[in-house]
Amino acid sequence: MKIGTDGVLLGAWANCQNAQKALDIGTGTGVIALMLAQRNPALQKIDGIELDTEATQQAIENVQRSPWSDRIEIIQSPLQTFKLAQNAQYDLIISNPPFFQKDANTSPSGKSRTQARHTDSLSFEELLEHACRLMTPNGQLNVVLPYQEGLHLKSLAQNAGLHCNRMAEVKSVAHKPVRRFLLCFEKAEKEPVIEQLTIQHRERKNYTDEYIALTKDFYLKM
């Protein structure tokens, strides 16, 4: 599975500075788990769960070759049946979740890619339900989603007892509308913080200063 902009954005944007234990749902290549480990040396334990067998193996290999293998564990498991070790909840949960609905006209090719991007394997309702189950009372759920799906998740979250206390409206280029949301949910309601982020100027790969500042630590060339 390729590393996409969504995963890089989420891994760089999520607030992990006060976290001690994190869960990456649908870890894929393991890139977000690795980014969290790089950003916060005090993050003691990072679990990445993945449904696909080949992606799980790739994530394990990536972690083993990293400087942070002692703090990251990759586990093949669906979220719905994932159990806590000794009831130790997570203070940070992060996910680049599947978002295509069953009746979507666009169907990605390849079984693994379809599974990773369609909600058949993990619905929004299930994501919210199990995030509530697995997070501490003061924990956070951070996700990245396209515009319409992000609005839908926000509306569902209220029914699940989660509040969107931080949000970034992301534009791919400055002259186009918002294309995706970065969303942070918590159990306690707070005054929401709304941010704006533009990835690049009109020219392709001509990145904005704000995007460079956010992600430069994770690129070999930026």
| Chain centre distance of CA 152 | 16
What mean pLDDT comes out for the span 118-135?
Answer: 86
Q: Using the predicted structure, report yes or no on whether residue 111 has a pLDDT greater than 60.
A: no
Q: Using the predicted structure, report yes or no on whether residue 23 has a pLDDT greater than 90.
A: yes
Sheet of strand 21-25: strand arrangement: 72-76, 45-50, 21-25, 90-95, 135-146, 180-186, 163-173, 193-200
Q: Using the predicted structure, report yes or no on whether residue 7 has a pLDDT greater than 60.
A: yes
Which domains are present in the chain? 5-217 (3.40.50.150)
Residue 100 banded pLDDT, cuts 50, 70, 90? very low
Q: Using the predicted structure, report yes or no on whether residue 38 has a pLDDT greater than 90.
A: yes
pLDDT tens-place string over residues 137-149 = 999 999 999 999 9
What mean pLDDT comes out for the span 13-30?
Answer: 96
What mean pLDDT comes out for the span 171-189?
Answer: 95
Q: Are strands 45-50 and 90-95 parallel, antiparallel or unpaired?
A: unpaired
Phi then psi for residue 93, to 5 deg, are -120, 135
Q: Using the predicted structure, report yes or no on whether residue 113 has a pLDDT greater than 50.
A: no
Q: Rounded to an integer, what distance in angstroms lies between the CA atom of residue 31 and that of residue 24?
A: 10
What mean pLDDT comes out for the span 48-60?
Answer: 96
Q: Rounded to an integer, what distance in angstroms lies between the CA atom of residue 16 and that of residue 38?
A: 11
pLDDT at residue 215 in the model: 97
Q: What percent of the chain has pLDDT over 90?
A: 79
pLDDT at residue 120 in the model: 61
Q: Rounded to an integer, what distance in angstroms lies between the CA atom of residue 60 and that of residue 65?
A: 9
Angle (CA) 207 59 154, round 5°? 60
Structure tokens at 11: 């891994």
Q: Using the predicted structure, report yes or no on whether residue 195 has a pLDDT greater than 90.
A: yes
pLDDT at residue 101 in the model: 54
What pTM does this model have? 0.89
